[in-house]
């Protein structure tokens, strides 16, 4: 090989190595830890604000911070070097009082972690785009924080986010909020997740998504005793606050679209779910216990010309447990409730075994039965393997996991908890492939046939009571329901580590 070519390649390699070393050194010297507090580098976040660079971590000492709103503008981290604001010891750095605690303005790649916010009179934490509606703030994370005891009763929120894209709110607690406010209020926010949070008496709503909000997922949270709407899927927003700005003339506008509400627990609340001027919203695999007045509201509060009616939303695979009669669905004017999809929901009224819900459309594959919660007295709303909710759900790609993170199987259980007791795949695989039940529906007996040997068979009624049990069965077997009442039954077939459930209807 030409010596000059070899020398040139060597120089290029050496140059690349020098550049990599230089970049690594640059990152090393730029990523700083800055202590905030009475004995720290700076007494407040505001005092440190002017010199913050990507990769900086601001560590808050264990103390009270009562210096009013910390306005932090244009802090910009990167994907590899975010700016982190965290407690030195989790939940020992407490922002107390003031109109607000922290206000992030036009910030990107910022993480807030492990702090407590209490006693604010405006909003606990504000995060927004600084009024530049065409350029959202991006990549904001709020994790493992506690928001508590708002010191006001108006339309004030624990966490107010306006014009934010690509965000995560995870593992936070929201308790005793402002009576007219929200735990989290999203205005014109897009592509975010609220996961693993707890909302207890957090305000008039736990989570609200409005003002053109799009593709937000709310999953694996607990909503308890929310005074009005546990989740407000839409709302009523002044036209000037929409993000992105509305076109002129307004065409096909919405308050919220393509939201996902997956695997949450709802206890109490005047109305757990409110679809309000929203479209394309999916409410799947949630558990609702004893809503106070309505289970669902379908409303259109923004009636400006050019807005789509509340329509084309879904409610599937949910458990609804009532202690007494309630209004299942409240439908307001200017909506199109007939476009909604209801399917595979389990409904139960503890005071009336003959009750069935009144819905705007047919709930396909609906079940009316006791879900057999594990421990209702202690609000353990998980379900046992014998629950009629097990294996009775609509099959989907998402959500993949239940409230606890356990994988949903195919077909999934109804509700926020997967009830299968096995840890192996429950899809129809080689162990129990091509299992069929016929006739189905039946008037007396049915045949279960498939590629299985030495299997165990159990049949449960809709209350979860075991009525048939057989061991060592193979290929072809008869199920006799001649002495049983009309209704829905669930066939559990197990062969070794393989398990499948089939639903059987008796006329």
pLDDT of residue 463: 60
Q: What are phi and psi of 117, to 5 degrees?
A: -125, 125
Question: Is 265 in contact with 243 (CB distance < 8 Å)?
Answer: no
Give the CATH number of domain 32-153; options: 3.40.50.2000, 3.40.50.720, 3.80.30.20, 2.160.20.10: 2.160.20.10
- Res 431 pLDDT > 50: no
Comparing 1-10, 135-144, 243-252, 465-474, which segment has the lowest mean pLDDT? 1-10
For 243-265, write each residue's pLDDT tens digit.
999 999 999 999 999 999 999 99
| 52-92 pLDDT tens trace | 999 999 999 999 999 899 999 999 999 999 999 999 999 99
Which of the two residues, 434 and 144, has the higher pLDDT score? 144
Q: How far is CA 205 from the centre of its chain?
A: 15
Residue 217 contacts residue 240 (beta carbons within 8 Å): no
Range 85-111 average pLDDT? 97
pLDDT in tens, 329-361: 999 999 999 999 999 999 999 999 889 999 999
- pLDDT value at residue 8: 55
Give, in order, the Cα–Cα distances in Å from 15 to each of 11, 80, 100, 275: 6, 24, 50, 59
The Cα 224–Cα 182 span in angstroms is 13
Report whether pLDDT(3) > 50: no
Mean pLDDT of the chain, nearest integer = 90
**pLDDT higher than 50, residue 452:** yes
The pLDDT value recorded for residue 26 is 46
Sequence-distant (6+) residues with CB within 8 A of 466 are 386, 458, 459, 460
User: 15-29, 258-272, 378-392 — which is least confidently predicted?
Assistant: 15-29
Q: What is the pLDDT of residue 275?
A: 98
Question: Does position 422 have pLDDT exceeding 60, yes or no?
Answer: no
Report the predicted TM-score, pTM, of the whole model to 2 decimal places: 0.80
Please tell me the distance from the alpha carbon of residue 262 to that of residue 158, in angstroms, as a whole number.
22
Q: How confident is the model at residue 100 (pLDDT cuts 50, 70, 90)?
A: very high
Q: What is residue 336's DSSP assignment?
A: -
d(CA 366, CA 351): 19
430-506 belongs to CATH 2.60.40.10:
yes
Q: What is the pLDDT of residues 19-49, one digit of tens each?
A: 444 444 444 456 899 999 999 999 999 999 9
pLDDT of residue 201: 97
């Amino acid at each position: 090989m030409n010596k000059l070519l070899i020398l040139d390649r060597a120089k290029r390699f050496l140059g690349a190595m020098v550049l990599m070393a230089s970049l690594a050194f640059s990152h090393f010297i730029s990523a700083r830890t800055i202590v905030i507090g009475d004995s720290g580098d700076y007494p407040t976040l505001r005092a440190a604000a002017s010199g913050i660079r990507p990769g900086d971590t601001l560590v808050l000492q264990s103390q009270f911070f009562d210096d009013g709103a910390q306005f932090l503008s244009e802090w910009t981290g990167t994907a590899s070097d975010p700016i982190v604001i965290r407690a030195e010891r989790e939940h020992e750095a407490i922002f107390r009082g003031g109109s607000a605690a922290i206000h992030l303005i036009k910030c990107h790649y910022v993480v807030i972690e492990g702090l407590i916010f209490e006693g604010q009179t405006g909003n606990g934490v504000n995060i927004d785009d600084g009024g530049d509606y065409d350029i959202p703030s991006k990549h904001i994370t709020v994790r493992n924080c506690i928001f508590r005891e708002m010191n006001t009763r108006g339309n004030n929120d624990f966490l107010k986010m306006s014009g934010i894209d690509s965000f995560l709110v995870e593992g936070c607690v929201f308790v005793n909020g402002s009576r007219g406010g929200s735990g989290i209020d999203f205005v014109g926010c897009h592509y975010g997740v609220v996961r693993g949070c707890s909302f207890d008496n957090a305000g008039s709503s736990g989570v609200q998504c409005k003002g053109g909000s799009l593709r937000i997922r709310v999953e694996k949270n607990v909503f308890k005793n929310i005074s009005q709407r546990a989740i407000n899927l839409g709302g009523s927003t002044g036209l000037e606050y929409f993000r992105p700005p509305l076109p002129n003339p307004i065409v096909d506008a919405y308050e919220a679209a393509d939201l996902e509400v997956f695997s949450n627990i709802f206890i109490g609340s005047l109305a757990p779910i409110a679809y309000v001027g929203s479209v394309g919203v999916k409410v799947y695999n949630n558990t609702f216990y004893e809503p106070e007045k309505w289970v669902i509201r379908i409303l259109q509060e923004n009636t400006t010309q050019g807005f789509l009616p509340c329509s084309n939303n879904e409610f599937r695979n949910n458990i609804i447990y009532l202690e007494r009669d309630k209004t299942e669905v409240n439908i307001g004017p200017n909506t199109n409730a007939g476009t909604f999809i209801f399917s595979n929901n389990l409904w139960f009224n503890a005071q009336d075994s003959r009750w069935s819900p009144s819905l705007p459309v047919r709930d396909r594959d609906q079940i009316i039965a006791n879900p057999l919660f594990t421990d209702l007295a202690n609000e353990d709303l998980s379900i046992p393997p014998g629950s009629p909710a097990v294996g009775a759900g609509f099959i989907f790609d998402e959500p993949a996991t239940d409230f606890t993170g356990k994988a949903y199987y195919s077909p999934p259980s109804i509700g926020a908890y997967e009830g299968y007791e096995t840890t192996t795949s429950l899809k129809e695989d080689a162990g129990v492939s091509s299992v069929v039940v016929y006739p189905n529906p039946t008037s007396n007996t049915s045949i279960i046939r498939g590629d299985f040997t030495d299997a165990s068979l159990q049949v449960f009624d809709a209350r979860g009571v075991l009525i048939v049990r057989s061991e060592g069965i193979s290929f072809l077997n008869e199920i006799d329901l001649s002495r049983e009442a009309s209704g829905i039954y669930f066939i559990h077939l197990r062969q070794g580590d393989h398990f499948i459930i089939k639903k059987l209807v008796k006329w």
